Chain A
Amino acid sequence: MIRIVLTFLAMAWLSVMVLAPVVIVLFAGLSAGVGAWWSAINDEETRTSVALSLKIAAIVVPCNAVFGIAAAWALARFRFPGRALLLALLDLPLSVSPVVSGLVFVLLFGAQGWFGAWLQAHDIQIIFAIPGIVLATAFVTLPMVARELLPLLESQGEDAELAARTLGASGWQTFWLVSFPRMRGALAYGVLLCTARALGEFGAVSVVSGHIRGQTDTLPLHVEILHNEYHFQAAFAAASLLLLVGVATLLLRRLQTPESAH
């Protein structure tokens, strides 16, 4: 009996605290019908913001994927002085407030920042422009690929690579023919997580973007603008796109977990 009550309580908590917000996004987005939902998404400014978000992700994710492979390789395959510190620093971007993540770039490249005067003299704009958004997004998503790869590489051990080396493979051959094929699944999932986060990042981007309509408003910032202007249905329609990205990453992980669980 108590078991049933506890189960019910757990499901009630999840329904009220987690399921209800999801449902209301879809409900409010579709409140005026599918046609209105589609026209809100197909709106010129929304399309521009989607394109900008995709562009940012297309720049940031490959960089952080290469970084992730390198970091996981160095940290899983070698023991060196400062390794523990490096592991801790790797987590720092995920635990710093997103507002601080944006602020640091304003302090470096903003009008009053360290390089502000120099950048102004050379007519280069970083803050309130796309480069600033790229930097802030790169900061926030920095360790996401590395964190997917690191446990995998550690659990795999290094026997296969050492065997390849003993058989005369070069370093790159070992990587491409032995290591890379075995990390493809985790790499793909890390890239997916990183992409989803890059598309959805709000706080850090909001600090550096300047909210210039049609130029520096990414999709999450556009959701904020629509909401602040009381275009609630349009805001939720745009938000439903981000919701779909999030749900897709969760479902893909379901598919991925069974094989990587061991």
Chain B
Amino acid sequence: MTFSRTKRAPAAMPGLGLSLGITLTWLSLIALIPLAALVVRAGSLGWQGWLNAVSGERVWLSLRLSFGASLIAAALDTAAGLLIAWVLCRNKVPFKAFWDVLVDLPFALPTAVAGIALTALWVPDGWLGQLVAPFGWRIAFAEPGVVVALTFIGLPFVVRTIQPVLQSAEKELEEAAESLGASPAQIIWRVVLPSLRPALLTGFALAFARAVGEYGSVIFICGNIPMKTEITPLLIVARLEQYDYAGATALATIMLGFSALILAALQFLQKGRRTALR
């Protein structure tokens, strides 16, 4: 391996060896070797063993719930996040700083705290649960509860991806549209949205990725009913608790593969965005 800079000018920027050494050592010890161990362990199951471990109705239902609820949540976050980002960037909002801080709260709130708080809110006699109970809607301890929790944790990903793009976008374009008689809805739909598409897609992917793997905020509100409200991470934990290491490992490889896929997709999206900006 040749490192062009160190070769050409030995006294230039110092510390490549040391910093790269520390980086690779710690990254390998804490993350790469353990993740590799997971893959090797899954490999030792063999193709048939792996397939057996990830088939069956309980697995299928958990995957469907995890991915389905995450898709719904990410879609809700994209819609709400676009609205919130646009309002915060363009409109006069009372106590703007307050709302702006609030957007980041799901990032900063430990998932267990979010979980018990959302559960308390949405149980049938909770503050919000009793508002929807007359309609016969059950949120906590049912599938919608999973969506509520995943929507909560995903929101900042969308807002924080859109906001910088919206801020740097030319406000004049929107003002021109407004002066030409466009309604706010038309401005959003015709002027704002097209320039935001890559950012929206990135925000959606980030929220979706986070939602699929989420555990802490969901397990309280979902009620842990196998085959009904059991998300895949919860099924992994259930299998671990029964010392079914093979079953847990096989499911974990699906989650890991999905994470890698989303990371690759995001890299691709960001590359596209960077070249689009140039």
Which residues does A use to contact B, with CB under 8 Å?
Answer: 2-3, 6-7, 9-11, 13-14, 16-22, 24-25, 28, 63, 66-67, 69-71, 73-75, 77-81, 86, 88-93, 95-100, 103-108, 110, 112, 114, 135, 138-139, 142, 158, 161-162, 165, 170-172, 174-175, 196, 199-203, 206-207, 220-221, 223-224, 227, 232, 235-236, 239, 242-243, 246-247, 249-251, 253-254
What's the Cα separation between A97 and B214 when bound, in Å? 6
Q: Does more than half of chain A's interface fall in helix, strand or loop, or is it mixed?
A: helix
Q: B32, A203: Cβ atoms under 8 Å?
A: no
Q: Are A203 and B155 in contact (CB under 8 A)?
A: no
Contact B102 A196 (CB under 8 A): no
- Taken residue by residue from 183 to 217, chain B's Cβ proximity to chain A (1 for < 8 Å, 0 otherwise) reads as 11100000000000000000000000110111110
Given contacts A11-B93, A67-B26, contact A25 B112 (CB under 8 A): no
- Which A residues are CB-close (under 8 A) to B155? 17-18
List 6 tightest A-B contacts by C-beta distance, closest first.
Answer: A200-B110, A97-B213, A171-B14, A246-B108, A203-B215, A104-B34
Q: Chain B 174-185 against A: per-residue CB contact (8 Å), 1 yes, 0 no?
A: 000000000111
Q: In the docked arrangement, what's the CA distance between A91 and B206, Å?
A: 12
Q: Closest Cβ of chain B: how far from A36's Cβ, in Å?
A: 17
Q: Select which of B11, B114, B240 is within 8 A of A21 by beta carbon.
A: B114
Chain B 23-43 interface residues, beta-carbon cutoff 8 Å to A: 23-24, 26-27, 30-35, 37-38, 41
Interface centre among A20, A81, A106 (most CB of B within 10 A): A20
Instruction: Give which listed residue, A75, A203, A224, A242, contacts B233 with CB less than 8 A.
Output: A203
A residues less than 8 Å from B31 (CB atoms): 89, 92-93, 139, 142
30 contacts between A and B (CB under 8 A): A2-B185, A6-B184, A16-B128, A18-B106, A21-B109, A70-B20, A74-B20, A78-B13, A78-B20, A80-B1, A80-B20, A92-B31, A92-B259, A97-B215, A99-B236, A100-B213, A103-B236, A107-B245, A107-B249, A139-B30, A142-B27, A165-B11, A200-B113, A203-B216, A206-B216, A223-B112, A236-B116, A236-B120, A239-B113, A251-B101
For B216, the closest partner residue in chain A by CB is A202
Add 15 more A-B contacts to A7-B92, A10-B99 (CB < 8 A): A13-B84, A21-B114, A63-B26, A75-B23, A78-B16, A91-B263, A95-B213, A103-B252, A110-B245, A165-B14, A200-B112, A220-B110, A224-B116, A236-B116, A249-B108
Specify which chain A residues have a CB less than 8 angstroms from the CB of B114 in the assembled complex: 21
Q: Once the chains bind, are A3 and B91 in contact (CB under 8 Å)?
A: yes
Taking a contact as CB atoms under 8 Å apart, the answer to whether A220 and B112 are in contact is yes
Nearest A-chain residue to B18, judged by Cβ: A70
**Proximity string of chain B (85-97) to chain A, C-beta cutoff 8 Å, 1 when within and 0 when not:** 0111001110001
In whole angstroms, what is the CA distance A158 to B14 when docked?
11
Complex interface: chain A residues within 8 A of B169 (CB): none
Chain B, Cβ-Cβ closest to A28: B120
Q: How far is the CA of A105 from the CA of B245 in the complex (A)?
A: 12
Contact between B83 and A202 (Cβ–Cβ < 8 Å)?
Answer: no
Q: Which of B20, B97, B103 has the most CB of A within 10 A?
A: B20
Name the B residues within 8 Å of A69 (CB-CB): 19
How many angstroms between the C-alpha atoms of A90 and B21 in the bound complex?
15
Q: Which residue of B lies closest to A19 (CB)?
A: B102
Chain A residues, Cβ within 8 Å of B16: 74, 77-78, 80
Question: A97-B259, A171-B15 are known contacts. Are A196 and B108 too (CB-CB below 8 A)?
Answer: yes
Interface pair B256/A100, CB less than 8 Å apart: yes
**Interface pair B255/A97, CB less than 8 Å apart:** yes
Point out the residues of chain B lying under 8 angstroms from A74, CB to CB.
15-16, 19-20, 23
**With A and B bound together, what is the CA distance between A71 and B245 in angstroms?**
33
B30 touches A107 (CB 8 A): no
B259 with A20: CB separation less than 8 A: no
- Please, how many angstroms separate the alpha-carbon atoms of A74 and B5 in the complex? 12
